[in-house]
Structure 1
């Protein structure tokens, strides 16, 4: 048994670990496993959706082969353990790019599908699952299911955003999109309050593909922040940034994110970026994945780890709900360096259990301070519940079962597609098995 933690580092749980390396022999791995099992990629989920305490983890990072790539159409077929980073570095020099990526490229294709990840361009291109024409799923009883939007679409809808619970994804076809190069035309616009944020978000949807904002969550609900938007551009030959990646070298004895550090950091960050605001040509890695330049950044939260709380609420109540959450956070005395506010487009999700829905999403990291943190989350839960919103399972480690059931109305339908040989910490906590 090996002790493994998710990205939030809230606990170290014992698992039997089996490394997958040959997709043609998956059923052999299943037979040698301590039941139940769960596919595990890079472990970048924050809570227990990627953990299976006292069970088996089938580590998929060995399934890292590219199978086919059509340079004329942008169709890529690869194994599920391929990293998004490796895809980007292969295809961008050839004039293609992943249409949708999350805030880190250090995740696997299988994980991106299982959590139906979203990026900064949901209002234009939806989520990751919108660009998967087909995938191969292997059930623990040996059944192989080929599915996609036009082939066994019910299995596809259950598997995209299905939290890894319908089987093990072994390979996928991805439709890439044309791009002129690795550069974006970007603009950073400071805003003073939520009124300005929503005005910027609405005004930017027609002309900007990528929109996102950092918000200062410790100003008493005032909602000042920095709105960032970007479009792919042809910028000619120019050198890519050569910044050296840094690593958080150790776990400090206490969280570096605390009441003493939060206010001066947020103030300094806001004013520095406000001073630098305006237009720029920005490399895709700097714009999409700024945190990937600090490896092991999750260590900064100390030995107790941290939670991420990400919600989405309908647009018509979004401003009131976000303001109420910010006021509760400011009142608690806690807060986040990493507070992200953005809008989702008016489109329905691909998967039965996909997180994105039309509305506004707020994501924040909180150091684990035990009961005090949980009390804050209970107050935030009440706001999300009243707004008829939901929380993101890929980020969750403590969501109440009733909030999960209310937020995902297709849960009963989804459960019919679960693989009985697969389970996770999250599924046992929220689904009973």
Structure 2
């Protein structure tokens, strides 16, 4: 019998913190037993805990950890297709397969994300404008549903359930394993061009003009700059380095492992403030020369924050919200300008603010990525209810300009705004009710946003 342990959990933003009954199964039979016994009213899966808000929390109910369900199952060298369990992380795939010339085709900003979490949130990366979101590269996955059945879901088989599960934040069942087509690469290096933009409009123009030239594209934004400099940025544009482009003395997959730095405790709340962040932003902006080019290893380019273990502690015990929005192309310039104006007027300091171009939306009913520009920034919660009120005002700006908020980062949006932003919600509920009529799979987010029907 698999026993549970009552544990206080949070997302990566350390807000909110809730108690859940945590299970840590090692075999599929144990998963089935947990669902059959129903010692909790409902359950949600949890991978590495890298979602920021409450979509992997389930207050006073069941939380199923996948940390021991992380085995590689097969790999086909001819097709480059990897089959692995949902608890496998991007970091584990990279460690095993990069020396042989393979990388995940899409990766978020941290490698400490599980495959199950990547599917449930339909994650995207710096190459969405070229290669789409993670779901574009999934062949199929196996899902344990409320009835106890194991279903294979793909674009051809159980198609509706496939697109409800992609981006469906774990509410259709438990993802057991997936088959993913890996990307062939000739080296572990990225050639990066740095371009500087003096304001938001110039940033958007540069992102648009360079979209066809680079596979990877992201802009660091100074969200505290004002007036004519508002939205000034440093663009980091990259392509994979071919073996014949490397120095002959460099091994193509010899990327040096850098020493990680652990943040051992929560920083005091006054550590990050508008003054310290304004100084940091100024130094960062002037650090790079326009037109500078370098060859960076994959770790430095894709996962710069992963070197700071427990970097979320920088924001103090109160935690933070990583606020991510996508605006459609036609309203992006205005919507982003209003958001940045509100941030600078309020003196809200964000340690990290990045802007990316997104391409076409996948078929995921609750998937976030869609064509437009997406801004992600960190908002410290040291102001308590006052800060939450400020964020809710930002939500209204997003709604007014046709934007959408990312469920992997959210913890406070209202059910009404959520329903407006995700018009496929009724279709998702219809599929959810059909496959899980007793609502065996639920979460704190699902109840807060009323995704699961009439539950409070």
Indicate the TM-score class for this superposition, using the shorter chain for normalisation: over 0.9
Once residues 245 and 69 of structure 1 are traced to their aligned partners in structure 2, the CA distance between those partners, rounded to angstroms, is 30
Structure 2 residue ranges without an equivalent (≥5): 1-5
Cα displacement (A) at 1:178? 1.4
What TM-score do the two structures reach when normalised by structure 2? 0.92
**Are the equivalent residues in 2 in contact too, given 1:215–1:226 (CA < 8 A)?**
yes
- Go from structure 1 to structure 2 and tell me whether the alpha carbon gap of 1:51 and 1:255 turns closer, same or farther (over 3 Å shift): farther
Instruction: Report matched runs for 1:61-140 at 5 Å.
Output: 61-140=67-146
Aligned to 2:197: 191
Deviation per CA, 1:272-321: give whole Å up to 9, x if none.
Answer: 2x248611111111101100000000001111111111111111110111
Alignment-derived partner of residue 253 in structure 1? 268
1:34-433 superposed matches below 5 A: 34-220=40-226, 222-235=230-243, 236=246, 237-238=250-251, 239-272=254-287, 274-275=288-289, 278-345=292-359, 347-368=360-381, 369-418=383-432, 419=436, 420-431=439-450, 432-433=454-455
SS class of match (1:229): strand
Q: Structure 2: how far apart are the matches of 1:242 and 1:310? A: 30
Aligned equivalents of 1:44, 1:376: Cα separation in 2: 24
CA distance in 2 between counterparts of 1:91 and 1:187 reads 26
SS at match of 2:179: strand
Deviation of 1:25 after TM superposition, in Å, equals: 3.7
- Which region of structure 1 is more displaced relative to structure 2, 232-241 or 222-231? 232-241
Counterpart CA distance in 1 for 2:149 and 2:426 is 22
Distance 2:27 2:206 in 1: 48
The alignment covers a number of residue pairs equal to: 431
Q: Secondary structure at the match of 1:13?
A: strand
1:17 maps onto 2:22 in alignment = yes
Name the Cα RMSD after superposition. 1.4
Normalising by structure 1, report the TM-score.
0.97
In the alignment, does 2:22 pair up with 1:7?
Answer: no
Q: 2-side partners of 1:402 and 1:422: how far apart?
A: 22
Shift of 1:113: 0.2
> Are the counterparts in 2 of residues 122 and 344 from structure 1 also a CA contact under 8 Å?
yes
Runs of 4+ aligned structure 1 residues displaced above 4 Å come to none
Distance 1:328 1:366 in 2: 12
| Structure 1, gaps ≥5 residues long | none
**Deviation (angstroms), 1:338:** 0.4
1:223 Cα shift? 0.8
Q: CA deviation at 1:259?
A: 2.4
- Determine the C-alpha separation between the residues in 2 that align with 1:371 and 1:16: 28
User: C-alpha displacement at 1:45, in angstroms?
Assistant: 0.7
